[in-house]
Structure 1
Amino acid sequence: MSTAITSQSSGPSSGSPEHPPEAALATSAANRAVGVRTLRPAIGLGVLALVSLIVFALNASGQRVDFRFSNDGGAIRLPDVSVPSAPYGWVVTIVLAALAVYAAVQARKLPRWAVIVAGFFFVTGFLVWIVGTAQTPSISITALLAGSVALATPLVFGSLGGLLCERSGVVNIAIEAQLLFGAFSAAVAGTVAGNPWVGLLAAMLGAVLVAAVLALFAIRYRVNQVIVGVVLNVLVSGLTGFLFATVLEPNAASFNAPDRLPHVRIPVLAEIPVVGPVLFDQSVIGYIMYLAVIVVWFALYRTRWGLRTRAVGEHPKAADTLGVSVNALRVRNVLLGGAVAGLGGAFYTLVSVSAFTRDMTAGAGYIALAALIFGRWNPVGALLASLLFGFASNLESILSFLGTPVPSQFLAMLPYVVTILAVAGLVGRSRGPAASGEPYTKE
């Protein structure tokens, strides 16, 4: 099998007309499907099982934790679920240990079902353990999930914007700048026009302007893409900070008081326990977020544009051989990614709060970049990774009210620890587009 694959991946397939980008992508997928023997997933699961044993099982509070799945006064009520913390900690440990043994025997990349099972038990085990340490061991799952989605919304847009860039071969470190300038543009334009929809459009245009600068230097002049992104982040932070102090703050009523976008609650559907408030009781940008994930996924994997984008990100020379304008496609994708990221910036000033403040994104662009990597450059993966960050942030706020003795800083660092483990390959190999970050010059 390995000989056959070697013979396919060598030879003229790297750039001849007889081997188009479709063939290059198919060969790459075949190589990944065969895979190599690795114990990294087993090591990662073993570490999680050890953590579960020490923390969830041996150091459980002994209290019963109540999970509430319905809001008070809701039309549909589900019964609360009470879970004993210590026995459930042992259940989680046994399941993770069994999966670690399975991964060691297989010595391959974990199947999706195993990843889902491991993630479910570890997250629920963590919830049972940490809520069990609170003075009031009870938590509303509906409030936890709804708040997580709200906090994850700008991260999802930022990661989608970065995905559109990196899938075509351009590293976008400037997500932070696009979110920040989008928030600034939305606040100013929305206030001046007296219309939040104008602010939403201005946020997209402002982020596109930042993306245009990135495309100019990274693609046209072939400057190091990471350096350009970092410089843009610093530049936009300084520029918006200066304008906020000199223009917006002294004239807040004229330039920094936009109306909020409407909040839309869909009748009947919003009454469904757990998923109703999450999916059908959202701001306009929340619904746009769900639509954006679906559209980007479909376009990337089911359209000709998506095939060309992936080919340019993996093998630009082969795409160029077939007549695809590599740099033109990259420019268009960078601008499109900027527009998507701008929607995330608008969330801050048109949904979250009705004013712009200095550096209000607080590093969300870097978190979105981490979510993109954790999600393995896939729209759905980026959504789930962003939700993880939002989940941890919201859980930190909720537990502070419950009176848990666990330091809030511990909760805040969890998503980053998980991301480091994912990027290091302990929960599966994370591989970006092969040509990402590499400028292309037509020979």
Structure 2
Amino acid sequence: MSSADLFAGWLPPIVIEHDNGTANPSHEERIWLPMRSSSSTTLLHALVSRDTSATFRRKLRNTLHHDPALCLFTAAKLVQEHERGWRPIAGRWTTKQLADWWVRHGANVWDGASFLSCPDTETGEKLLQRFMRLDQHFQTLPFSRWLMESDLWWKAAGLHRQASICESMHSIRLIDSDQADPASIPNKHPSNQDAHEAFGKVTTMVTERERLQSEFSQSLESVRRDLAKQLAYGLSHEINNPLANIATRAQGLIAAAASPQQAESLQRIVDQSYRAHAMIADLMFYAHPPEPQRVSGFEARQVVDSVIEPMRPTLQSHEIVVDIQVPRSLKCDGDPSMFGEAIRALILNAVESIGVDGQIALAIQTDSESELCLLRISDSGQGLTAEDAARAFDPYFSGREAGRGLGLSLCRVHRIAELHGATIQLHPALIGCVAELTWPMHVP
């Protein structure tokens, strides 16, 4: 048998402090002991569960009774827990006391930061060879003498000086708690059922964690929408009326403007007022969208053309070329008006990112297997970071520092996609950005 067969790795380090008798800080040593392969299932169980049943305690006692390194590790932890002054401990300890320590501390005994700094491969292999010989030797010793002979393990582990923790263990005699009832002692080797139960608990915990994360995400999204709804109602009542007054008065002054420059400035006030009103409308839509007016089998290309045509003057003035590749035979299901709104918002986001002189490619592909079509809008504008892409649909987030508006118009697209059981994603690209919107395809 090789050390790799006998041992599954390392137990967490035992930190031993050496007081140098001066005002300087004490010196610390990290001592590593091996984890037997036959013990790893029980330790995994202790790590991921809060099992306090008599059955599990019995398994722990049996494991400790046949694993010298684990027994020594647990005894050292007990000494550190109860005797912080390193005073010698005399008496008799039972496997029940050792098992109880694991029941209390098994879930948090692994400290990720320190545990990851285990011995390097070459040093670790040399240590495991020594420990394998020690393990075989201790199997021939009476269980009661294991702690009395523990200096052999400390020396093999590389303890540079005699620590008072060693003296504490010299005076402790171990007793098997199940010794009086041989029938209660389980098999020396863990069964397949042990591993099955331990890994079953891990799987259950992972599933439960994923469920809780999903519920938390849904709750967080619900809270965000409620906040957005409250904010939108407040803005619509408190700001829309002043905006309307500003726009109306500015429009009235345009006719009496003394110069073209003055008229242009007034028109800019009107435009910005309508822009602020549109932002509030987007927020309102996100918080409380209307029910989709679903149509079966509307022509996707017709909706795309109806969105692009009114935007042609703006696109031409910005010298932006739009390449459309949408089959005229393609039909979709859902609200065609909302479909058009989503496309318009994505095109405007691309235009804002490009500025002047660029390209936008709009294409739709179908997938008969999933019964979805994929609308992809690519632009040659400024890039998008992965962090911005992840937060792009947050109604309170803006990526304008990166040259891309994001913000409220995209949260509107996100809500439209949700209402149709679809998805919307932004992907960073080598140049610009790629927006992908899935949409229900019409299936005759």
> TM-score w.r.t. structure 2 length?
0.21
> 1 or 2, which has the higher strand percentage?
2
Greater share of helix: 1
Whose relative contact order is higher, 1 or 2, with alpha carbons under 8 Å and at least 6 apart?
1
The TM-score normalised by the length of structure 1 is 0.21
